């Protein structure tokens, strides 16, 4: 047998698993259908700037072990995500915090802000009449009330997910913090940043000394023959595709980007601006240099790269980005998971193969745990 593991996909799950396997002396081949390694973390250098080709990626975690793990390959910078929301030209700080409340209502004290939120929440809670919020709209109205919902959530969410908020699960909105302090840090996690030099440094270090093959589609080359070259398969591609869609297709949301170079050192003054009204067709505009350049460094680099992010329903041939965790898709994914559990010597891992809305740190954690379970057996 040539390899202990054939690993399909070079994103963070595949790369982390490959690293752990190599540490225990296992021999791996990583195949990747794209022309480059790194999955969705891949960055392309344009005008000296690392451009997040598959969407803005900000690393954040509350797990010190995972933070130490990634920092052992590459130090991370001090980037803190503080997106701004633009609603019909009005600017608001995110996540929802005292700055936002001041901008929305002119309130100055914590008491005033709490009173305003409570008054709005009360309206929503009354209409629920004691039952739990059943969808994102009800959940958001109960958490933050109608002013924030209509200006900062409703239209953005509908653009992002292509569905009315009444048809989306409540949990999506529980990801966003609500704070009564003047703190624009989008995440509550104690550890946050961007790898210095970009994510490609992290991926290349994880995969150092491991055989990799890009432009190589598992379904084109290995699906029926992989057992001839490897003992085990680690599959990080789409769950339904592995089974040739035999139970039906899972839905995904996809994202497309219009990226351009602007002839100015500082285009919008922030890495992320969310457009929370329907009049802008994109959900956000990313100015990539602000992830890695701070202070004078912004001006030392004379140009800038800007990406408009558009959200769309997935169609075959597009990139699968976000799982759509509604009832139909969750039930279908469960049926596929039952099939997956019966596959011998195959590990299904990561965002696509688990059909799970995963951030980077939990993906790394899951890959390490999966590897530990196998290698410490
Ligand atoms: P991927 O990175 O998707 O890697 C899977 C790889 O498998 C891909 O390279 C794919 O080409 C390859 N593959 C699939 N099928 C085949 C096949 N048949 N043959 C060969 N190769 C195949 N997380 C954060 O923590 N912070 C963020 O700010 C953040 N922002 C995000 C923004 C966007 C727009 C998106 C979509 C996700 C974001 N995430 C973020 C989540 C993050 O991208 C994922 O957690 C992470 O990429 C998951 O890694 P993975 O290895 O599971 O999947
Ligand atoms: N969201 C919103 N307005 C914003 C930002 C986010 O309503 O300005 C909602 C939206 O429904 C989104 C959810 O909050 O799906 C979670 O946001 P997050 O930024 O965590 O989503 P991601 O882009 O990472 O999937």
Q: Above 80 in pLDDT, residue 376?
A: no
Q: What is the mean pLDDT of residues 133-146?
A: 94
Alpha-carbon span 213 to 209, nearest angstrom: 13
CA–centroid distance for 141 within its chain: 24
72 and 148 assigned to the same domain: no
Q: Do 66 and 97 have their domain in common?
A: no
**β-pair partners for 213:** 31
pLDDT band with cut points at 50, 70 and 90 for residue 175: confident
Specify the residue with its C-alpha closest to ligand 2, atom 3. Answer: 153
Do 156 and 91 reside in the same domain of the chain?
A: yes
Note whether 18 and 73 are same-domain residues. Answer: yes
Question: 202: Cβ–Cβ under 8 A, 6 or more apart, which residues?
Answer: 41, 70, 73, 74, 195
Domain membership of residue 255 (yes or no) is no
Q: Is the CB of 20 within 6 Å of ligand 2?
A: no
pLDDT at 359: 97
Domain termination site, one of 174, 207, 226: 174
Question: Which ligand has the minimum distance to the alpha carbon of residue 219?
Answer: 1
The verdict on 240 and 330 lying in the same domain is yes
Q: What percent of the chain has pLDDT over 70?
A: 99
Among this protein's residues, is 108 annotated catalytic? no
pLDDT band at 177 (very low <50, low <70, confident <90, very high): confident
Copy the structure tokens of residue 298: 């912004």
CATH number, position 34: 3.40.50.720
Please give the pLDDT value at position 377.
Answer: 66
Q: How far apart are CA 158 and CA 45, in angstroms?
A: 32
Asked whether residue 244 falls in the same domain as residue 328, the answer is yes
238 and 349 in a common domain: yes
Q: Which of 244, 249, 212 is nearest to 343 (CA)?
A: 244
* Residues 92, 165 share a domain: yes
Tell whether 65 is covered by a domain: yes
Model confidence band, residue 326 (pLDDT cutoffs 50, 70, 90): confident
Closest ligand to 321 CA?
Answer: 1
Average pLDDT, the chain: 96
Average pLDDT over residues 10-22: 98
Q: Does residue 263 form part of some domain?
A: no
State yes or no: is 179 an active-site residue.
yes
* pLDDT of 328 strictly over 80: yes
- Relative to the CA of 54, which ligand 1 atom is closest? 34
Q: In this predicted model, what pLDDT tens digit does every residue of 39-94 receive, in sequence order? A: 999 999 999 999 999 999 999 999 999 999 999 999 999 999 999 999 999 999 99
Instruction: Render pLDDT for 212-233 as a digit per residue (tens, 0 to 9).
Output: 999 999 999 899 999 999 999 9
Does 236 contact ligand 1 (Cβ within 6 A)? yes
Closest ligand 1 atom, CA of 40? Answer: 2
pLDDT of residue 244: 97
> Is 341 part of any domain?
yes
Which residue range is the domain that position 232 belongs to? 3-77+191-249+323-375
Indicate whether 99 and 243 sit together in one domain: no
Residue 298 belongs to some domain of the structure: no
Q: Is the CB of 83 under 6 A from ligand 1?
A: no
Residue 176 has pLDDT above 90, yes or no: no
- The tally of domains found in the chain comes to 2
Number of the ligand 2 atom closest to the C-alpha atom of 152: 3
* pLDDT at 171 > cutoff 90: no
Q: 93 and 109 share a domain?
A: yes
Within this chain, do residues 226 and 357 fall inside the same structural domain, yes or no?
yes
Is residue 346 within 8 Å of 340, Cβ to Cβ? yes
Q: Report how far residue 43's alpha carbon sits from residue 177's, in angstroms, rounded to the nearest whole number.
A: 28
Q: Please give the pLDDT value at position 146.
A: 95
Q: What does the pLDDT average to over 337-343? A: 98
Which tens digit of pLDDT belongs to each residue from 249-302? 999 999 999 999 999 999 999 999 999 999 999 999 999 999 999 999 999 999
Give ∠ CA 46-52-53 in degrees, rounded to 5. 85
Cis peptide before 95 (omega within 30 of 0): yes
315 or 341: which carries more pLDDT confidence? 341
The domain boundary residue, chosen from 125, 142, 174: 174
- Would you state the structure tokens that stand for residue 13, as one six-digit string? 């799950």
Last residue within a domain, chosen from 174, 204, 237: 174
């Amino acid at each position: 047998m040539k390899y202990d593991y054939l690993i399909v996909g070079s994103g963070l799950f595949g790369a982390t698993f490959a690293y752990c396997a190599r540490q225990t002396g296992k021999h791996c081949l990583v195949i990747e259908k794209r022309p480059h390694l790194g999955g969705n973390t891949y960055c392309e250098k344009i005008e000296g700037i690392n451009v997040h080709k598959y969407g803005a990626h900000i690393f954040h975690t509350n797990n010190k072990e995972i933070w130490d793990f990634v920092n052992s390959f590459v130090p991370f910078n001090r980037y803190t995500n503080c997106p701004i929301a633009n609603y019909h030209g009005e600017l608001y700080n995110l996540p929802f915090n005292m700055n936002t409340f001041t901008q929305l209502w002119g309130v100055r004290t914590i008491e005033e802000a709490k009173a305003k939120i409570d008054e709005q929440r009360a309206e929503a809670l009354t209409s629920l009449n004691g039952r739990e919020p059943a969808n994102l709209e009800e959940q958001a109205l109960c958490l933050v009330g109608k002013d924030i919902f209509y200006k900062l959530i409703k239209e953005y969410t509908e653009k992002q997910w292509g569905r009315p908020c009444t048809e989306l699960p409540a949990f999506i909105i529980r990801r966003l913090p609500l704070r009564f302090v003047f703190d624009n840090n989008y995440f509550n996690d104690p550890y946050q940043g961007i790898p210095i030099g970009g994510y490609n440094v992290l991926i290349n270090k994880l995969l150092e000394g491991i055989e990799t093959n890009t432009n190589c589609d598992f379904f084109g080359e290995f699906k029926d023959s992989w057992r001839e070259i490897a003992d085990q398969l680690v599959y990080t591609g789409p769950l339904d595709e592995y089974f040739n869609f035999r139970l039906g297709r899972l839905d995904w949301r996809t994202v497309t980007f219009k990226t351009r170079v602007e002839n100015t050192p500082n285009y919008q003054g922030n890495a992320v601006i969310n457009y929370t009204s329907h009049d802008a067709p994109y959900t956000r505009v990313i100015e990539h240099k602000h992830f890695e350049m701070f202070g004078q460094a912004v001006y030392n680099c004379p140009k800038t790269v800007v990406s408009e992010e558009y959200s769309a329903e997935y169609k075959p041939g597009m990139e699968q980005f976000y799982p759509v965790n509604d009832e139909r898709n969750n039930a279908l994914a469960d049926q596929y998971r039952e099939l997956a559990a019966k596959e011998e010597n195959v590990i299904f891992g990561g965002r696509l193969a688990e059909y799970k809305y995963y951030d980077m740190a939990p993906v790394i954690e899951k890959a390490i745990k999966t590897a530990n379970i196998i290698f410490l057996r």
